[in-house]
């Protein structure tokens, strides 16, 4: 009986098909790049509502491409036996567990985020107090563009413990809230009607949702809040600016006085 | 429902009876397949007439004015009068408003103008722009006291501004007329109607409203024949330039004086309404002036035709009934040049077009006031859209061109903006 030859995990150097690996990696990179460019291009060609279905597919496609590439790649480097795979992935897992704990955590969170969808490409979210539009979902992190045009990279593992405020949750619409503070001495019905008309006559307003104006008495002012939806949620800040500037003009023209400290307008999540 | 009966061509119907001209499903599939395989399938049905088509020359404006003059709206006004008569005769009528809603390019204001002129009804004059922009409602005091004659509002657009003070003027107007119980006949464009319905549920304020029924291919054929017959004294044969087929029945043109036995025999075997009319009805959504404008654009003359002779013959009242009818060539519908939307006009362009439709045209200063965009951006947009033939400027008023209207409507639908229901 011959002595069992200890099984080696990796293939011999000369057995490894480097050209195949190179081509495979190149193909994966090209495919991934194509997905990143073609899907947004397609979304731009189609009516805007389709972008909310198309853009979230980017990370799913990229995850699939990465997974398939890995599945094809590993057997070219590792001897394809069950023990070897267990040993290989065990070792990789252990190394990652110790050395790249946070990295691995973000990777796994990224996979979960793709399926759970707390955010999708195109969503307007607030994560760790940062508000912005999700521009890209990569394997480890997502990229937000803030209203100031800053790009913020946030690792996916924020989903483990943090709260994520999603203003539109995959829909095109997003409620916008615009606040005005007026000197308390005025006719509230007149103000409500003026602010209602400010929203109703804005070109941005979406009419499938109701425009509401509510008021709250504060010790130093009467607060009015317009709650309305723009046609495209991406215009939230332009819409709020439009309502603010036209609202101020309308109230001033009607002879109404703002509270000391002027008017304030803020965008708040729908549930605030 | 006696109130819904009108003349055969002009019908005003309740909204649930409104129908758009449609292309049969089989035809749609056929045209889709034709487009798909256009590179592989030979063009059998053109009978080698492409060369003829390319040599045709444009019919001059004066001749087109004889062949397709602007409608006079008499019959439409008569249809309105018929519809309104039970309401007018009723001493205790249901509601004091009757509203007519029609899409952009329907000539609704002209129909109502004609109706008011014929019946001697007073027309309510709209306030000026500065009044509508302010919170000065004094103009409402100029509304005449209640009388037995109905008050006519030619177009509600003239009393409206999409401005934060604009809606209040309309509310006060409706409220005042409602309180006075003055009978009122109101015309409103479908785009403004849809907006007002979304913004202030105007259909609840006006208890009876009627939509102008879209014109079918048959209606368009009848309209164009009657327009041609209204001025032209010589029968005209309208033939399609790529296949020679009849576009309109020749015996209905030239005041029905066709005597040519050969043409009569040919036309008796042709199917009417023609394919051109069917396509025109679908593309124009049965809107009268949109279809009329495209129709005028598609008229051509043979290369050897003497334009002056042709114009003289058509206009010659004393000419004997024509043995030889005159031929006008009509471009195949696929070859009619219609304006297309310039690329990348973006959201500002969509808002501009939407505002033009909702106001039935705006002056330049009003555009600057109502839209919160830079003047340079708006000037650039106006120039680009005008160059593309999508909008026109007439008497300092910008409005969507009738031929450009189908493209505008499609563009706004793609952008998910509020659409009219017609």
List of domains in chain B:
46-69+216-335 (no CATH), 95-207 (3.40.50), 346-414 (1.10.10.10)
* Lowest-confidence segment of A229-233, B32-36, B296-300, B339-343 by average pLDDT: B32-36
User: Which residues of chain B does A47 touch, with a Cβ-Cβ cutoff of 8 Å?
Assistant: 414-416
What pTM was estimated for this model as a whole?
0.80
What residue in A sits closest to B163 (Cα-Cα)?
A201
* CB-based burial label for A119 (10 Å; 0-12, 13-18, 19+): buried
- Give the pLDDT mean for A236-246: 93
Does an H or E element contain B177, and which?
A: helix B166-180
**What are the DSSP calls for B95-162, one per residue?**
-SEEEEEE-TTS-HHHHHHHHHHHHT--BPPPPPHHHHHTT--GGGGGSPPP-SSPEEES-GGGG--S
For residue A243, give how far its alpha carbon lies from the nearest alpha carbon of chain B (Å).
10
Tell me the pLDDT tens digit for each residue of B271-319: 889 999 999 999 999 999 999 999 999 998 887 777 777 777 767 766 5
| Cα B254 from Cα B227, distance rounded (Å) | 10
Distance (Å, whole) CA B157 – CA B239: 40
| Cβ–Cβ under 8 Å, residues B236 and B254 | yes
SS3 letters for A14-77? HHCCHHHHHHHHHHHHHHHHHHHHHHHHHHHHCCHHHHHHHCCHHHHHHHHHHHHHHHHHHHHH
Torsion A116-A120-A125-A129 (CA) sign: positive
Residue A196 has pLDDT above 70, yes or no: yes
pLDDT band of residue B8 (cuts 50, 70, 90) is confident
- What CA–CA distance (Å, rounded) separates B330 from B276? 9
Mean pLDDT of chain B, nearest integer = 86
- What is the C-alpha end-to-end distance of chain A, expressed in Å? 76
pLDDT higher than 60, residue B381 = yes
Helix or strand (DSSP H, E) at B400: strand B397-400
3-class SS of residue A181: strand
CB contact under 8 A, A231 and B416: yes
Q: Which residue has the higher pLDDT, B147 or A196?
A: A196
Number of cross-chain residue pairs from A and B with Cβ atoms under 8 Å apart:
52
Q: Inter-chain contact B416–A172, Cβ cutoff 8 Å?
A: yes
Which of B218, B250, B221 lies closest to B237, judged by CA? B250
- At B25 the pLDDT is 60
B59 vs A211 pLDDT, higher one: A211
* Top mean-pLDDT range of A32-46, A48-62, B345-359: B345-359
Residue B350 has a pLDDT of: 94
What's residue A270's pLDDT? Answer: 45
CB B140 within 8 A of CB B173: yes
- If you average pLDDT over residues A139-157, what whole number do you get? 90
Do the beta carbons of residue B119 and residue B78 sit within 8 Å? no
Q: Which long-range contacts (CB under 8 A, 24 or more apart) does B26-30 make?
A: B27/B278
State whether B165 and A197 contact (CB < 8 Å). Answer: yes
Which residue of B135, B354, B372 is in closest CB contact with A242?
B372
Which of chain A's residues have a Cβ under 8 Å away from the Cβ of B199? Answer: 200-201, 207
Inter-residue contact B240 to B295 (CB < 8 Å): no
Strands of the sheet containing A141-145, edge to edge, are: A151-155, A141-145, A130-137, A124-127, A164-166
Cβ of B164 within 8 Å of Cβ of A249? The answer is yes
d(CA B146, CA B279): 47
The pLDDT value recorded for residue B111 is 97
Instruction: Go through the domains of chain A in sequence order and give each one's CATH number.
Output: 14-170 (no CATH), 176-253 (3.30.70.100)
Residue with tokens 């949620």: A233
Cβ <8 Å between A47 and B416: yes
Nearest chain A residue to B197 by CA distance is A207
Q: Cβ of B354 and A200 within 8 Å?
A: no
CB B97 within 8 A of CB B207: yes
Distance CA B172, CA B137 (A): 8
Longest Cα–Cα distance in chain A: 105
Q: Nearest-CA residue of chain A relative to B412?
A: A47
Q: Specify the pLDDT at position A182.
A: 95
Confidence grade of residue A80 (pLDDT, cut at 50, 70, 90): confident
Closest CB to A200 among B135, B199, B415: B199
Candidates B417, B418, B411; CA nearest to B344 is B411
Q: What is the average per-residue pLDDT within A44-72? A: 80
Q: Which of B305, B353, B313 is nearest to B329 (CA)?
A: B305
Residue A5's pLDDT band (boundaries 50, 70, 90)?
A: low
Q: Cβ of B162 and A48 within 8 Å?
A: no
* CA triple B229-B285-B228, angle to 5 deg: 5
Tokens standing for residue B160: 């409206």
pLDDT-based confidence at residue B344 (cuts at 50, 70, 90): confident
B218 has a pLDDT exceeding 60: yes
Rounded to two decimals, the ipTM of the complex is 0.85
Beta strand pairing status for B12-13 and B209-212?
A: antiparallel
pLDDT recorded at residue A267: 47
Element (H, E) at B168: helix B166-180
The gap between the terminal CA atoms of chain B, to the nearest Å, is 22
Out of A32-36, B128-132, B395-399, pick the least confident: A32-36
Q: Is residue B207 over pLDDT 80?
A: no
Report helix, strand or coil for A228.
strand
Burial of A118 (0-12, 13-18, 19+ CB in 10 A): buried
Alpha-helical segments (H) within chain A: 18-45, 51-54, 57-77, 82-99, 101-116, 158-161, 188-200, 236-253
In angstroms, the separation between the Cα of residue A101 and the nearest Cα of chain B is 46
Task: Give the residue among A133, A156, A155, A128 at the shortest CA–CA distance from A144.
Answer: A133
CA–CA gap between residue B53 and residue B44 (Å, rounded): 16
Q: Examine the pLDDT at A54 and tell me if it is beyond 60.
A: yes
Distance CA B338, CA B333 (A): 10
| Inter-residue contact B205 to B174 (CB < 8 Å) | yes
A201 with B163: Cβ contact below 8 A: yes
pLDDT of residue A171: 81
Q: How many CB atoms lie within 10 A of CB A160?
A: 11
Structural contact between residues B300 and B58, judged by C-beta atoms closer than 8 angstroms: yes
Q: What percent of chain B has pLDDT over 70?
A: 85
**CA dist B289 to A270, B18, B95, Å?**
46, 18, 31
DSSP codes joined into one string, B265-287: HHHHTS-SS-HHHHHHHHHHTT-
Q: Do A207 and B415 touch (CB under 8 A)?
A: no
The model's pLDDT over B30-71, given as tens digits with 9 standing for 90+, comes to: 655 555 555 454 444 444 555 566 778 888 888 899 889 999
Q: How confident is the model over B334-353, as a mean pLDDT?
A: 92
For the range A260-264, what are the long-range contacts, defined as Cβ-Cβ under 8 Å and sequence gap of 24 or more? Answer: A260/A183, A260/A220, A261/A181, A261/A220, A261/A221, A262/A181, A263/A179, A263/A180, A263/A181, A263/A182, A264/A179, A264/A180, A264/A181
CB A69 within 8 A of CB A25: yes
Chain B residue with the nearest C-alpha to that of A209: B198
Q: Regarding predicted confidence, which is higher, B409 or B230? A: B409
- Tell me the pLDDT tens digit for each residue of B102-157: 999 999 999 999 999 999 999 999 999 999 999 999 999 988 888 889 999 999 99
């Amino acid at each position: 009986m011959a002595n069992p030859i200890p099984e080696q995990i990796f293939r011999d150097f000369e057995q490894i098909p480097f050209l195949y690996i190179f081509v495979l990696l190149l193909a994966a990179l090209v495919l991934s790049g194509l997905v990143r460019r073609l899907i947004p291009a397609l979304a731009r060609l189609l009516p805007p509502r389709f972008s909310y279905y198309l853009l979230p597919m980017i990370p799913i496609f990229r995850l699939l491409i990465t997974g398939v590439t890995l599945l094809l790649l590993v057997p070219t480097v590792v001897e394809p036996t069950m023990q070897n795979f267990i040993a290989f992935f065990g070792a990789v897992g252990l190394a990652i567990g110790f050395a790249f704990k946070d990295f691995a955590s973000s990777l796994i969170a990224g996979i979960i985020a793709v399926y759970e969808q707390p955010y999708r490409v195109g969503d307007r979210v607030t994560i760790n107090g940062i508000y912005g539009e999700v521009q890209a979902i990569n394997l480890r992190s997502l990229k937000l563009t803030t209203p100031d045009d800053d790009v913020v990279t946030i690792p996916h593992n924020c989903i483990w413990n943090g709260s994520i405020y999603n203003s539109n949750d995959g829909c095109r619409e997003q409620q916008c809230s615009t606040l005005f503070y007026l000197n308390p001495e005025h006719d509230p019905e007149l103000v409500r009607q003026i602010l209602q008309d400010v929203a109703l006559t804005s070109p941005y307003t979406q009419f499938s949702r109701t425009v509401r104006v509510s008021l709250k008495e504060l010790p130093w002012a009467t607060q009015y809040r317009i709650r309305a939806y723009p046609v495209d949620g991406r215009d939230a800040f332009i819409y709020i600016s439009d309502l603010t500037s036209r609202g101020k003009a309308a109230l001033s023209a009607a002879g109404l006085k703002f509270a000391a400290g002027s008017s304030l307008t803020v965008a708040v999540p729908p549930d605030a | 429902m006696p109130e819904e009966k009108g003349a055969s061509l002009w019908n005003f119907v309740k909204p649930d009876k409104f129908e758009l001209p449609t292309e049969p499903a089989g035809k749609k599939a056929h045209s889709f397949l034709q487009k798909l395989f256009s590179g592989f399938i030979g063009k059998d049905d053109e009978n080698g007439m492409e060369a003829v088509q390319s040599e045709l020359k444009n019919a001059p404006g004066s001749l087109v004015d004889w062949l397709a003059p602007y409608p006079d709206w008499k019959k439409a006004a008569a249809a309105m009068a018929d519809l309104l008569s039970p309401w007018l005769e009723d001493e205790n009528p249901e509601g004091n408003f009757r509203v007519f809603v029609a899409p952009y390019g329907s000539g609704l204001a002209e129909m109502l103008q004609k109706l008011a002129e014929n019946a001697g009804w007073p027309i309510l004059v709209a306030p000026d722009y500065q009044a509508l922009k302010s919170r000065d409602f004094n103009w409402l005091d100029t509304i005449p006291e209640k009388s037995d004659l109905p008050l006519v509002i030619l177009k509600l657009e003239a009393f409206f501004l999409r401005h934060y003070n604009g809606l209040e003027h309309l509310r006060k107007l409706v409220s005042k007329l409602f309180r006075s119980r003055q009978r009122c006949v109101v015309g409103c464009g479908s785009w403004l109607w849809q907006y007002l319905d979304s913004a202030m549920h105007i259909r609840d304020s006006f208890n009876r409203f009627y939509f102008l029924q879209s014109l079918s291919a048959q209606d368009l054929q009848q309209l164009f024949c009657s327009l041609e017959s209204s001025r032209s004294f010589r029968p005209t044969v309208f033939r399609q330039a790529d296949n020679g087929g009849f576009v309109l029945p020749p015996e209905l043109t030239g005041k029905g004086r066709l005597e040519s036995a050969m043409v009569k025999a040919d036309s008796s075997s042709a199917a009417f309404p023609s394919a051109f009319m069917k396509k025109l009805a679908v593309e124009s959504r049965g809107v009268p002036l949109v279809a009329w404008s495209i129709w005028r654009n598609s008229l051509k003359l043979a290369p050897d035709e003497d334009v002056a002779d042709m114009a003289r013959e058509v206009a010659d009242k004393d000419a004997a009934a024509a043995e030889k009818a005159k031929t006008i060539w009509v471009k195949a519908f696929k070859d009619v040049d219609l304006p297309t939307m310039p690329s990348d006009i973006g959201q500002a362009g969509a808002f501009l077009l939407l505002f033009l439709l909702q106001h039935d045209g705006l002056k330049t200063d009003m555009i600057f006031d109502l839209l919160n965009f830079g003047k340079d951006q708006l000037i650039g947009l106006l120039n680009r859209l005008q160059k593309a033939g999508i909008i026109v400027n007439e008497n300092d008023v910008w409005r969507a061109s009738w031929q450009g209207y189908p493209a505008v409507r499609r563009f706004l639908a793609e952008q998910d903006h509020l659409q009219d229901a017609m």
